[in-house]
Amino acid sequence: MVSGRRFDCKHLQLIDKYRLTDKYKIKQKIPLRRPGSKGFTFVTASSIPYYNTMKKLIFDLKKQFGCSQKIIGYDLGGVSEDKNKMEELNAVCGLEWRKFNWSIMSADLRLPLVYAWKIYILAEIYSEYDTFVWMDSAIVLENGASLNSIFDGMENSTISEVVFPGSADPPHSVQFATNVRMYNFIPLVSNLIKIENKWDERMIAAGFNIMHKSEALLCAATKQCINPEGSKQECPEASSIPSCHRYDQSVFALLTINNEYQRYVLDNDTNFFPHFHADHLRTKVRYQVQRGTSLDKNLDFKKGVECCQKPFD
């Protein structure tokens, strides 16, 4: 439908490693996995400053989905070297703790706030799991059962296989918070084709993603794509032109709009609901974003995360 600047062929080895090249193209529908089943996992990551918030997330996930629910956590810095924190994590049933290897990224992409690391993590999990949910440490899922509507929609093909329940807050469009140089690699269809503004009314939030078996990885491996010159995260409220950049959010938003436009408009799939649609099932997911919060001191973390039965592999 649209195409941008070619990525450097040196990245071919990278996307082959994560089984994203054409030879791994999916040729038939893959059965969807749900929480509580083998082949499904929750994924998160943390460095030392966000550890207590992640600890609360892990406790809440065990409360919502059971003691044996698989969780994969990535250490973004310092956690694995802290003996006390590792004693706590080693007591979590079904938790697989991985130390993120920053060296797989070029030096100019290793800044945590560029968020290229998140796309690398998602690519790795994609190569291992058919269905998973990524959650930033600040996500608080109020009702685990509310995810069922998303999984139902994925199974009956009424929504995309990648869903972002949240939107930018305060609300703004994709183009408002995307460095225009990113379009060199990932053009936005609404820039090229005259369509209604509803396709770009509100940018998605990338802290909570429900994903079922990417061009996203190529962008994350290319500084000029994910972190173009002049990128800054903070957006002046009064600006009416692109004056900030949201890194991973921008990547996911561009790919989502382009893919859903293809399906909803060009393929004329009348049973499909794009993210902007008022009836999209993402509105049914009940959660909050609580940054900087810790587990209530009256709650026993160790007791809340201990095994009650054999965890899923």
- Domains in the chain (CATH in brackets) are 9-293 (3.90.550)
Report the distance separating Cα 238 and Cα 222, nearest Å.
30
Confidence band of 238 (pLDDT split at 50, 70, 90): very low
Please indicate whether residue 58 or residue 203 has the higher confidence score (pLDDT). Answer: 58
Confidence band of 63 (pLDDT split at 50, 70, 90): very high
Confidence band of 213 (pLDDT split at 50, 70, 90): low
| Residue 200 clears pLDDT 70, i.e. is over it | yes
Backbone angles phi, psi at 180, to 5 degrees: -60, -20
Confidence band of 214 (pLDDT split at 50, 70, 90): very low
Report the distance separating Cα 141 and Cα 214, nearest Å.
27
Confidence band of 247 (pLDDT split at 50, 70, 90): confident
Strand runs labelled E in the chain: 40-47, 71-77, 95-99, 131-135, 139-141, 162-163, 208-212, 287-289
User: Of 77, 57, 267, nearest to 141 (Cα)?
Assistant: 57
The whole-number pLDDT of residue 26 equals 67
- On whether the CB atoms of residues 12 and 221 are closer than 8 A, the answer is no
The whole-number pLDDT of residue 81 equals 98
The whole-number pLDDT of residue 191 equals 60
- On whether the CB atoms of residues 131 and 34 are closer than 8 A, the answer is yes
Mean pLDDT over the full length of the chain: 85
| Residue 188 clears pLDDT 50, i.e. is over it | yes
